Amino acid sequence: MDDVDRQILALLLEDGRRTYDDVAARVSMSAPSAKRRIDRLRASGVLKGFTAVIDHGALGYETEALIELFYGPAVQLDEVAASLRVRPEVVEAWSVTGEPDAIARVRTRDNADLERLIRDLQRDGAVVRTRSQVVLSRLVGPGEAGRPED
């Protein structure tokens, strides 16, 4: 991977729907060359795919929170993943080092909906306790880290 590949990745992070012509023009190469590089990045696994970014707030999910999950000693990681996958409020979740066993990023309609979700998670039998933080504002979003401001 060279600097041109990094430039192409940065362009695709900004807008995954860019055409090969647009990418090529911005990195000073032909569209077929840009396509070959993007295909190579996909084949190597560096570029996993393209996705839509949803504004959850525009859909009425105004509250964003991080919920730290503490599970009992006999709970397996696949059980944790399965219990979180079925909850539409869970946007992402990770197993982590440190005190909690997992952290889930969730979007709910409001604080009352968040409280209901936390109670539901605590009732599922595997969760011993939770600790939550409500997000006030986003400082850096996906694709923005490590890039200088324009």
Asked, for residue 140, whether it belongs to a domain, the answer is no
pLDDT averaged over the chain?
A: 90
- Count the domains in the chain: 2
State yes or no: pLDDT of 147 exceeds 60.
no
In tens, the pLDDT along 17-57 reads 999 999 999 999 999 999 999 999 999 999 998 887 788 88
CB 144 within 8 A of CB 105: no
Q: What digits encode the pLDDT tens for the residues 76-87?
A: 888 888 889 999
* Residue 113 counted as domain residue: yes
Q: Specify burial of residue 68 (Cβ count, 10 A radius: 0-12, 13-18, 19+).
A: middle
Pairing state between β 102-108 and 127-134 = unpaired
CATH number, domain with residue 38: 1.10.10.10
Residue 68 structural domain? 56-134
Locate the DSSP E strands across 5-141: 63-71, 90-95, 102-108, 127-134
Q: Evaluate if residue 149 carries a pLDDT over 80.
A: no
pLDDT at 117: 96
Task: Tell me: do 83 and 125 sit in the same domain.
Answer: yes
